[in-house]
Amino acid sequence: MSARDHARGLAAGLAAGTAGGLFGVGGGIILVPMLTAFFGLTQHQAHGTSLAVIGATALAALAVYGAHSNVAWTTAAMVAVGSLFSARLGARWASRVSIHGLKRAYAAFLVLVALRLLWETPAINARPVLMGASGVVFSLVLGLATGTLAGFMGVGGGLFVVPACTLVFGMTQQAAQGTSLAVILVTAPAAALEHARHGNVVWRVVPMLALGAAVGSPLASAAAQVLPHSLLVRSFAVFLAVTGVHTWIGASRRTDRGTLG
Domain ranges of the chain: 3-252
The confidence band for 12, taking pLDDT boundaries of 50, 70 and 90, is very high
Ranges 14-18, 131-135, 167-171: which has the least confidence: 131-135
**If you average pLDDT over every residue of the chain, what do you get?**
82
Q: Which of the four pLDDT bands, split at 50, 70 and 90, describes residue 208?
A: very high
Task: Flag whether pLDDT at 67 surpasses 50.
Answer: yes
What is the distance between the alpha carbons of residues 53 and 50, in angstroms, rounded to a whole number?
Answer: 5
Looking at per-residue pLDDT, the higher value among 66 and 102 belongs to 66
> Averaged over 227-241, what is the pLDDT?
84
Condensed to tens digits (0 to 9), the pLDDT of residues 22-51 reads 888 877 778 888 888 888 888 788 888 999
**Higher pLDDT, residue 7 or 121:** 7
Closest CA to 95 of 222, 206, 257: 257
pLDDT score of 100 more than 70 = no
Instruction: Specify whether the CB–CB gap between 196 and 246 falls below 8 A.
Output: no
Which carries the bigger pLDDT value, residue 127 or residue 141? 141
Burial pattern 30-42, b for ≥16 Cβ within 10 A else e, equals bbbbbbbeebebe
Quick one: pLDDT at residue 260? 37
**Spatial distance between the Cα atoms of 231 and 207, rounded to a whole number of angstroms:** 33
- For residue 255, name the pLDDT band (cuts at 50, 70, 90): very low
How many percent of the chain have pLDDT more than 70? 85
Residue 177 confidence (pLDDT): 92
